Amino acid sequence: MEPVQPSVGWGVLHLFYRVDRARAEGDPQAAKRVVDAVQSLVDDDHQALLFAVLGHKADLGVMALGPDLARLQAFQQELATTPLALVDSYVSLTELSEYTSSEDDERARLEAEEHLAGPAAEARLAAWRERMGHYQEQRIHPRLPTKKTICFYPMSKRRRADANWYSLPFAERKRLMGGHARVGRTYAGRVLQLITGSTGIDDWEWGVTLLADDPVALKEIVYEMRFDPVSAEYADFGRFFTGLLLEPPEALRRVGL
């Protein structure tokens, strides 16, 4: 199939399955076929994370991402031939935030807060550019580490008459998002956050994927951020899916496949 590659970023699929127990009993090679499909996707320079879902919403979760939407769709169809019944899904693209600080923003901050200008400021800006380049690459082309737990949920910004995010001036939205981001940065090292965009391609506007070794960190970051005005006044959330991230054979064994 002809590749379908976004001009910016990668495609991201979150797929949630129940195991069809009757079909699984008659298909002893089903787990191997899933593992083979995952390995084939990885061999094609994509990524796939499998997790045993906690709670009643699904048995197995799969997060697949990479540069080719056609390849992701083919992977989804491969899984459809196994005793996995799809019960929910989400489609999004990796992206950069429009509210990311620019070099001019950082230069102004250095002058206002640290009273730096001239060569001293330029030296700091050089380090800032390197740091931002790494950050932007990780947002657009993320390489996701294996943590112990994962949480996914979709969200949108509100459009109510008394709280319409999109009626705010850009400068005010950027200021609010700056405070929101500062809260998130306090969890560096504890929680890996990947925000992917879905406006126009799924029911919500963003998908949020959180990875952590400690499930308490997942709870704490979402709880703390809900006190931030961006969430408290302007955010609506969809269903949350939480699971145990595992190597594919172990994830499938855990869910009975």
Does residue 153 have an active-site annotation?
yes
Q: How many CB atoms lie within 10 A of CB 42?
A: 14
- Contact call for residues 123 and 200 (beta carbons, < 8 A): no
Structural tokens at position 41 = 């996707």
What is the DSSP-derived secondary structure letter of residue 117? -
Q: Which DSSP helix (H) or strand (E) runs through 185?
A: helix 170-185
Distances (CA, A) of 208 to 50, 91, 93, 201: 16, 12, 11, 15
Please state whether beta strands 149-157 and 235-237 pair in parallel, antiparallel, or not at all (unpaired): antiparallel
Judge contact between 185 and 225, C-beta under 8 A.
no
Q: Could you give the CA distance from residue 75 to residue 37 in angstroms, rounded to a whole number?
A: 7
Given the residues 17, 90, 153, 187, select the one marked as catalytic: 153
Contact 196, 205 (CB under 8 A): no
- Distance between CA 24 and CA 256 in Å, rounded? 8
Asked if 38 and 48 count as a contact pair (C-beta separation under 8 A), the reply is yes
Residue with tokens 């056609």: 70
> Among all residues, which ones are annotated catalytic?
153
